[in-house]
Amino acid sequence: MAATTIEELLNLSAPPVAVAFLPAAPAGVPRVAQAEPAGCGYWRRAALGEVFYTEAPDHLNCPVGAHTLNVPMTPEEGQALEGLVHTMVGLQYLTMDDVAALPRRREPFGVAVYAPLAKSPCPPDVVLVRGNARQLMLLAEASAAAGVSGAGPTLGRPTCAVLPEAINGGRTSASFGCVGNRVYTGAGDSDGYFAIPGDRLATVEQKLQTIVVANNELEKFHEARKRAFVGQ
């Protein structure tokens, strides 16, 4: 699998994941073989090289994730969401105001297509990058230089909210990741996420090339300056 520009520039340990939301499955793309316990589990599978689509029932094991993606629910499934939310509120993990403010996709859910960015069978609505603080810093600087950085804060729980935040606003969004995401994806304690709207990807990549070179040169400058001060 060929590496993408972002993957090469940032030296990522896992490829960026492309996610597209479509009314129906594209030809030649298989449905996911087995449902995951949470929607972010599909991020892990795509990062490992799988190309597939999911339908609404494949997301109902995680009611909060289903809510953020605007997956339709039956009354019984809605009650499961309410039960989980009340559990989180009881733990003082969330408040009801937090729930009401969760980003959510506006368009009705049909199917979601997941793939490594280099193998995406269709233009992505959003590209998801997992990286460490330095890598995400470079993406944030590139997004600011491109004029597409989001105005909102870096998100925490739930991590899946980073997708609708980027799609709805047409700007990049970042997340520190939540405990559930780390369990279901295997993300490390130092990993975070950066979501780029698909139609902004080329602009961010262009600026990222400049930002990476600039940071490498500035690192040399600061290292030399630090040595000069130590030698005084």
What are the pLDDT digits (tens) for 40-62?
Answer: 999 999 999 999 999 999 998 88
**pLDDT tens per residue, range 160-169:** 999 999 999 9
Two structure tokens written together for 42: 């599909």
Give the integer Cα–Cα distance in Å for 39 and 15: 18
The amino acid occupying position 63 is P
**pLDDT tens per residue, range 96-135:** 777 777 888 999 999 999 999 999 999 999 999 999 999 9
From 17-21, 175-179, 200-204, 207-211, the region with the lowest mean pLDDT: 175-179
For the chain, what is the domain count?
A: 1
CB atoms within 10 A of CB 154: 15
Binning pLDDT at 50, 70 and 90, where does residue 225 land? confident
Name which residue leads in pLDDT, 3 or 50.
50
For strands 173-175 and 52-55, give the pairing: unpaired
Return the closest-CA partner of residue 48 out of 21, 10, 15.
15
Name which residue leads in pLDDT, 2 or 98.
98
The pLDDT mean for the chain works out to 89
Give yes or no for a contact between 35 and 57, defined as CB atoms under 8 angstroms apart.
yes
Domain that holds residue 156: 5-230
Return the closest-CA partner of residue 138 out of 43, 227, 205, 91.
205
* DSSP at 149: B
Is the bond into 158 cis (omega within 30 degrees of 0)? yes
User: Model-level pTM greater than 0.85?
Assistant: yes
